[in-house]
Homo-oligomer: A and B are copies of this chain.
Amino acid sequence: MKLYSYWRSGTSYRTRIALELKGIDYEIETVDLREGAHKQPAYLEQNRQGLVPTLVTDEGTSICQSPAIIEYLEEYKPSPALLPVLPEDRATVRAMAAVIGCDTHPLGNLRVLKYLKAEFGQDQAGINKWAATWMIPAFETLETLVLNNEHEGEFCFGDTPTIADCYLIPQLYSADRFEVDLSPYPKLLKVRQACEELKAFQRAHPDNQPDAD
CB distance from A79 to the nearest CB of B (A): 15
**CA of A144 to CA of B49, assembled, Å:** 10
A-side interface residues toward B, CB under 8 Å?
Answer: 48-51, 57, 59, 61, 63-69, 71-72, 75-76, 87-88, 90-92, 94-95, 97-99, 101-103, 105-107, 109, 112, 115, 119-120, 122, 129-130, 133, 137-138, 141, 144-145
Given A95-B65, A103-B106, also A71-B51 (CB < 8 A): no
Q: Are A72 and B49 in contact (CB under 8 A)?
A: no
The DSSP consensus for interface residues of chain A is helix
Which residues of the other chain, B, contact A65 by a CB distance below 8 angstroms? 94-95, 98-99, 102
Q: Are A102 and B101 in contact (CB under 8 A)?
A: yes
Given A94-B71, A102-B106, A120-B120, also A63-B88 (CB < 8 A): yes
Please list the 9 inter-chain residue pairs (A to B) with the smallest Cβ-Cβ separation, ordered nearest first: A68-B94, A65-B98, A65-B95, A68-B95, A72-B91, A120-B120, A49-B141, A75-B87, A63-B91
Instruction: Find A67's partner among B48, B59, B102 (CB 8 Å cutoff).
Output: B102
